[in-house]
């Protein structure tokens, strides 16, 4: 009874106002991690959230991970084939599923760790992904001066931190997926349960919409802060659950240390940079 009486109703207009208060004016490129429930009751649900995001940003990206496509091992029979329409895992959320249901959305190729995007730079962001560097789309957002929006969720959902770990040189695990009909190895990260430990090192813009706290970060700040934290304390972001895969990462880390990786530039952007340099010289 008490819960019902205190239920908060959130309108599309309130969402627009909240997103504008964060400084999102329609030109930005964002990756979004959200909990619908966090708002209270959002009029129109995930569709309303997506429409508001498209009004306030030029490119909207979200993780569309589908863990059900992971195989047990290299010898495992192929039990499922990834397609453009493969269901997004429940713990990635309704917004991402709603995005892939839009025919005009693009989805990257990765059988387990795909991203979905709508708007201006969707292709540039998604094309960056590889099996060895699954979070490369975050690198593309970094180059575009993009933002990460946490809507009612904390850093344990913040994929940008994984890209920071990648650059800092955290050991990656190997998992297997079916790719072009063959069992293929792909990189897989430690878990994100303790990513809130990055919180003291990054400052967001924040606003409340209904019951939800929205936090907006520059991808660049998140990635740079992660690289700095991991360089100082390589185990800082690994969780301490005894049975988690983080323990395997920890052991490799203690044995081999960090192996920093390069931030890959998109070939098209490299070309543009070259042209800009040439134009500047001549
Ligand atoms: C796990 C997570 C998705 C759970 O959040 P959630 O609010 O319970 O779930 P969703 O955002 O998918 O929204 C669906 C739920 O919203 C509720 N809901 C449905 N309509 C709603 C509405 N109009 N208004 C508010 N809530 C509504 C329902 O309870 C529904 O849950 P159900 O399907 O079990 O009934 C969220 O906490 C999270 O982590 N999101 C980010 C994930 C991510 O980006 N991860 C990256 C991995 S590194
Ligand atoms: Zn863990």
Each residue's pLDDT tens digit, 156-189: 999 999 999 999 999 999 999 999 999 999 999 9
The preferred substitution site among 93, 149, 151, 194 for testing ligand 1, maximizing ligand atoms within 8 Å of CB, is 93
Binned at pLDDT 50, 70 and 90, residue 268 comes out as low
Binned at pLDDT 50, 70 and 90, residue 243 comes out as very high
For the chain, the average pLDDT equals 93
Answer whether residue 266 is part of any domain.
no
Answer whether residue 71 is part of any domain.
yes
Specify the residue with its C-alpha closest to ligand 1, atom 28. 37
Answer whether residue 281 is part of any domain.
no
As a dihedral over the C-alpha atoms of residue 248, residue 253, residue 258, residue 263, rounded to 10 degrees, the angle is 0
Overall number of domains in the chain: 1
**Ligand 2 ion local residues (Cβ < 5 A):** 191, 239, 244, 246
Decide: 41 in ligand 1 pocket, CB within 6 A.
yes
Q: What are phi and psi of 60, to 5 degrees?
A: -115, 120
What is the 161 CA–ligand 1 centroid distance (Å)?
A: 21
Decide: 35 in ligand 1 pocket, CB within 6 A.
yes
Given a cut of 80, whether residue 17 has pLDDT beyond it is yes
- For the ranges 53-62, 151-160, 267-276, the lowest mean pLDDT is seen at 267-276
Given a cut of 90, whether residue 4 has pLDDT beyond it is no
Binned at pLDDT 50, 70 and 90, residue 6 comes out as low
The preferred substitution site among 31, 35, 116, 213 for testing ligand 1, maximizing ligand atoms within 8 Å of CB, is 35
Q: What is the predicted pLDDT for the residue at 80?
A: 80
Q: Looking up tokens 């059988």, which residue turns up?
A: 111
Decide: 159 in ligand 1 pocket, CB within 6 A.
yes
Answer whether residue 230 is part of any domain.
yes
Q: Tokens representing 172?
A: 């990656």
Specify the residue with its C-alpha closest to ligand 1, atom 46. 157
Ligand nearest to the CA of 98: 1
Atom number in ligand 1 closest to CA 48: 23
Binned at pLDDT 50, 70 and 90, residue 79 comes out as confident
Cα–Cα distances in Å, from 236 out to 100, 152, 180? Answer: 34, 24, 37
Domain holding 123, by residue range, is 8-258
The β-bridge partners of 188 are 173
Decide: 39 in ligand 1 pocket, CB within 6 A.
yes
Atom number in ligand 1 closest to CA 158: 48
Q: What are phi and psi of 50, to 5 degrees?
A: -65, -45
Ligand nearest to the CA of 191: 2
- Do residues 188 and 172 lie in contact, with contact meaning Cβ atoms separated by under 8 Å? yes
Given a cut of 90, whether residue 7 has pLDDT beyond it is no
Specify the residue with its C-alpha closest to ligand 1, atom 44. 33
The β-bridge partners of 215 are 150, 206
Cα–Cα distances in Å, from 118 out to 33, 58, 100, 163? Answer: 15, 8, 9, 21
Answer whether residue 12 is part of any domain.
yes
Answer whether residue 3 is part of any domain.
no
**Rounded to an integer, what distance in angstroms lies between the CA atom of residue 260 and that of residue 230?**
11
Given a cut of 90, whether residue 273 has pLDDT beyond it is no
Answer whether residue 276 is part of any domain.
no
What is the 269 CA–ligand 2 centroid distance (Å)?
A: 35
Answer whether residue 278 is part of any domain.
no
Global confidence as pTM: 0.94
- In this prediction, residues 119-128 reach a mean pLDDT of 98
What is the 152 CA–ligand 2 centroid distance (Å)?
A: 21
């Amino acid at each position: 009874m008490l819960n019902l009486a205190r239920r908060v109703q959130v309108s599309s207009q309130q969402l627009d106002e909240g997103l504008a208060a964060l400084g999102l004016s329609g030109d930005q490129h964002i990756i979004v991690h959200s909990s619908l429930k966090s708002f209270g009751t959002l009029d129109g649900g995930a569709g309303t959230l997506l429409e508001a995001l498209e009004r306030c940003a030029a490119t909207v990206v979200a993780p569309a991970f589908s863990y059900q496509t992971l195989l047990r091992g290299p010898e495992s029979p192929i039990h499922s084939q990834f397609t453009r329409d493969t269901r997004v895992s429940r713990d990635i959320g309704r917004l991402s599923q709603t995005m892939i249901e839009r025919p005009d959305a693009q989805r990257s190729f990765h059988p387990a760790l795909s991203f979905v995007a709508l708007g201006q730079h969707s292709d540039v962001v998604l094309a960056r992904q590889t099996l060895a560097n699954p979070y490369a789309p975050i690198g593309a957002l970094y180059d575009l001066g993009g933002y990460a929006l946490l809507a009612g969720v904390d850093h344990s959902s913040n994929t940008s931190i994984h890209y920071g770990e990648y650059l800092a040189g955290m050991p990656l695990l190997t998992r297997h997926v079916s790719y072009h009909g063959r069992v293929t190895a792909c990189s897989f990260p430690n878990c994100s349960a303790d990513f809130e430990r990055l919180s003291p090192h990054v400052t967001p813009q924040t606003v409340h919409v209904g019951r939800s706290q929205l936090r907006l970060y520059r991808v660049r700040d998140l990635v740079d802060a992660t690289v700095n934290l991991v360089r100082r304390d390589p185990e800082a972001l690994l969780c301490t659950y005894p049975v988690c895969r983080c323990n395997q990462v920890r052991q490799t880390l203690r044995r081999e240390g960090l192996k920093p990786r390069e931030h890959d530039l998109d070939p098209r952007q490299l070309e543009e940079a070259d042209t800009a340099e040439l134009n500047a010289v001549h």
